[in-house]
């Protein structure tokens, strides 16, 4: 038996949602868990009960530009527990194709926002993942994995000013996010004490994926 998950309208995004199973229906209950505020690049983790395995769904992508920047802002307001300043969006726009929106059934349901940086010591360019998030009803469908995989594939295709490294920060107790990125061959390269001002624990790990060269980059299938 298949159960229909209601879709949010184009102008409203549910924020904190978990699934609860009953014999007759599947319904949503708002929830908030501060322990999960950094799950998968900084978003609230979805608590899911008896929902089964991830689905292989059809997802399309669109690069964030001025004309659709508001979509990214709406997603961030719905998914993340912080308000991002103008510099965040300036960096996101400057990254070009590395900041994307994900669409499922013609609805904007997720995004990845990145920042291009010069690697210290003149070692080329590196990519910083600022956020990676999916609206709660659409998690556990592989959309976050598709966003990250698409980004890594673009790193592989970058021939001019090749990307030498991709990295991000993850709260030290966020096992789910750490496990997620390790599946894509990210490694813990550093621990930073007191990185977060309003989270407990305040420490973070730096997760990094070194790309020897664009032609040798391997992206998990």
List, for residues 55-65, the tens digit of each pLDDT value.
Answer: 578 999 999 99
| In the predicted structure, residue 23 carries a pLDDT above the cut 50 | no
CATH top class, domain 17-216: alpha beta
DSSP letters, 61-115, are EEE--GGGHHHHHHHHHHH-SS---HHHHHHHHHTGGGSEEEEETTEEEEEEEEE
Active-site residue, selected from the candidate residues 19, 89, 138, 169: 169
169 annotated active-site: yes
For residue 52, the model assigns a pLDDT of 35
Confidence band (pLDDT; 50, 70, 90) for 142? very high
| In the predicted structure, residue 42 carries a pLDDT above the cut 90 | no
Burial class (CB in 10 A: 0-12, 13-18, 19+), 139: buried
| In the predicted structure, residue 170 carries a pLDDT above the cut 50 | yes
Sketch the domain layout of the chain as residue ranges: 17-216
Instruction: Identify which of 19-23, 50-54, 73-77, 211-215 has the greatest average pLDDT.
Output: 73-77
Residues 106-116 as b/e (b if ≥16 CB within 10 A, e otherwise) read eebbbbbbbbb
Q: How far apart are CA 159 and CA 169, in angstroms?
A: 26
| In the predicted structure, residue 17 carries a pLDDT above the cut 50 | no
Cα dihedral sign, 166-75-79-5? negative
| In the predicted structure, residue 162 carries a pLDDT above the cut 60 | yes
Tens digits of per-residue pLDDT, 109-127?
999 999 999 887 766 899 9
Q: How far apart are CA 80 and CA 15, in angstroms?
A: 8
- Mean pLDDT over the full length of the chain: 77
Tens digits of per-residue pLDDT, 174-220?
999 999 999 999 999 999 999 998 889 999 999 999 986 544 445 55
Q: Quick one: average pLDDT of 63-85?
A: 94
Task: Decide: pTM greater than 0.75.
Answer: no
Minimum mean pLDDT range among 20-29, 84-93, 163-172: 20-29
Among 77, 102, 81, 103, CA closest to 89: 77
Active-site residue, selected from the candidate residues 128, 138, 181, 196: 128
Q: How far apart are CA 46 and CA 29, in angstroms?
A: 11
Q: How far apart are CA 201 and CA 142, in angstroms?
A: 28
181 annotated active-site: no
| In the predicted structure, residue 39 carries a pLDDT above the cut 90 | no
Q: How far apart are CA 159 and CA 211, in angstroms?
A: 12
Measured distance between the N- and C-terminal CA atoms of the chain, rounded to whole angstroms: 29
Among 43, 27, 39, CA closest to 77: 43
């Amino acid at each position: 038996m298949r159960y229909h998950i209601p879709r949010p309208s184009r102008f409203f995004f549910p924020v904190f949602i978990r699934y609860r199973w009953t014999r007759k229906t599947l319904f949503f209950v708002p929830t908030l868990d501060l322990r999960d505020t950094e799950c998968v690049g900084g978003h609230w983790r979805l608590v899911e009960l008896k929902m089964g395995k991830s689905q292989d769904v059809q997802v399309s992508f669109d690069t964030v530009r001025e004309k659709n920047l508001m979509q990214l802002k709406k997603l961030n307001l719905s998914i993340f527990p912080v308000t991002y300043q103008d510099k965040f969006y300036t960096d996101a726009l400057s990254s070009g194709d590395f900041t994307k929106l994900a669409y499922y059934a013609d609805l904007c349901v997720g995004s990845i926002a990145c920042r291009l940086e010069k690697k210290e010591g003149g070692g080329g360019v590196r990519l910083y993942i600022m956020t990676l998030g999916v609206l709660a009803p659409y998690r556990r469908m592989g959309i976050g994995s598709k966003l990250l995989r698409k980004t890594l594939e673009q790193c592989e295709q970058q021939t001019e000013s090749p990307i030498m490294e991709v990295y991000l920060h993850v709260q030290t107790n966020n096992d789910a996010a750490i496990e997620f990125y390790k599946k894509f061959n990210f490694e813990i390269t550093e621990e930073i004490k007191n990185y977060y001002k309003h989270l407990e624990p305040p420490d973070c790990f730096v997760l990094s994926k070194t790309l020897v060269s664009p032609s040798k980059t391997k992206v998990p299938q």
